[in-house]
Amino acid sequence: MKPEFISYPIHISSYPALLLIGFFFGYLLARKRALRAGLAGRHIDNIVLLLVVAGPFGARLFSRLFEMHLGFWEALKVLNGGGLVFYGGFIVSILTVILYALIVRLPLLTLCDVAAPSAALGLAFGRIGCFMAGCCWGDVCVDSARIAQISDPAAAYQVWTVPILSGPRVPFAVTFPKESDIYEQHQKLGLIKSDSPRSLPVHPAQLYESAMAFLLCWLLARKKSVRPGQVALGLLLGYAVIRFSVEFLRADNSPVYWGMTLSQVISILMAIMCAILIVARKAGRDEATVPVLAASG
C-alpha cells in the first residue's frame, strides 16, 4: 500500500496517477488501432477528452446510487463524497462513445472495436492504483478458527467467501497498515486487536484483476475482427467473467442478491446480453450465406 505516488516536491495520490497512466497508454493504443481501421486520429483525441470527464462521473454516480443509497436526482446534486464504482464509469463511458459515434456519424461497431483493448488496459492500471490506495481489497487468508470469531454469518461470508482458496498458506497474501480500510474492517469484526501493527493477510484481489485485465487487453489487441463488433463483444464478455470471478475473493463488497454482490449480478446480465448478441449475429450470418450457397449449387 502506497497512497502517495509522489510526495515531494508535490503531492500526487497513487490512484488518480495510475488512472491517468492507464488513460494515456490506452489513448496511444486506441489511436494506433484507429489509424489501422481507417478512422481519423482526431476522433480518438475527442473521445478521450470526453471520457476523462464521463468515466469518473459514472463511477461516482454509481457509488452514490448503490453504495450511499441516494436517489438519482439527489446523487446528481452531491458533488463529492463516496467512492468509485468501475461498472458505473464503464457503462457511462460506453454510452459516451455511442453518443459521439452517432453525432459524428462514425461506424459505431468499428469504433467500439478500436477502443475495446484500451478499456481493458485502463482497468489494468486502475486496479494497480486500487492496490496502492488500499481499496477493493480481498478476503482474509486464515483458518476456520479465526473466522469463527465473527458473530455475524453474513459478515463472515463477505470476508471469507471461498474457504478452500483462502487458507492461511496463500502464497500471494498481503497485509495492510493501520491507516487502511482493510485494517479497520478486520478490527470491527474482532479479527485483530487495536494494538495489532497490521491487518490480517488478504488476497491481493486488485492485482488478480489487473493481471487478468492485462491478459484480456493483449488478447483483444491481437484479435482480428472478422465482423465489426467482435472485439467489443470480447471485452464485454471477458470483463464480465473476470469481475464475476474476482468478486468471490473480494471482501469490500457485501452480497446483495442470492449471495452475490451487485457487481456479480451486473456481470451475469452483461454476459447474458453478450450471449444473445453472439447468437443473433451468428444466426444472421448463417441466413446470409444460404442464398449464396444456393446460387453456387
Percentage of the chain surpassing pLDDT 90?
56
User: Which residue from 204, 270, 212, 263 is spatially nearest to 237, judged by alpha carbons?
Assistant: 270
What distance in Å separates the CA atoms of residue 291 and residue 269, rounded to the nearest whole number?
Answer: 35
Note the helical H segments in 37-107: 41-66, 72-77, 86-104
Tens digit of pLDDT for each residue in 204-245? 999 999 999 999 999 999 877 678 889 999 999 999 999 999
Domains in the chain: boundaries = 4-137+204-285, 139-203
Backbone angles phi, psi at 262, to 5 degrees: -60, -40
Band (295; pLDDT cuts 50, 70, 90): very low
pTM metric for this prediction: 0.84
Mean pLDDT of the 231-260 span: 92
Residue 265 C-alpha from the chain's centroid:
14
Question: In the predicted model, is pLDDT for residue 251 greater than 80?
Answer: yes
Question: Does residue 81 carry a pLDDT above 60?
Answer: no
Long-range contacts, stretch 263-267, CB < 8 angstroms, 24+ apart: 263/85, 263/87, 266/87, 267/239, 267/240, 267/241, 267/243
Q: What would the pLDDT profile of 131-190 be if each residue is shown by its tens digit?
A: 998 989 999 999 999 999 998 999 999 999 999 999 999 999 999 999 899 999 999 999
What is the average per-residue pLDDT within 77-98? 74
Q: What is the mean pLDDT of residues 265-276?
A: 93
Q: What is the mean pLDDT of the chain?
A: 86
| Predicted local confidence at residue 285, as pLDDT | 63
78-89 burial: b if 16+ Cβ within 10 Å, else e: eeeebebbbbbb
Buried b / exposed e along 159-178 (16+ C-beta atoms within 10 A)? bbbeeeebeeebeebbbbee
Q: Confidence class of residue 74 from pLDDT cuts 50, 70 and 90?
A: low
d(CA 80, CA 91): 20
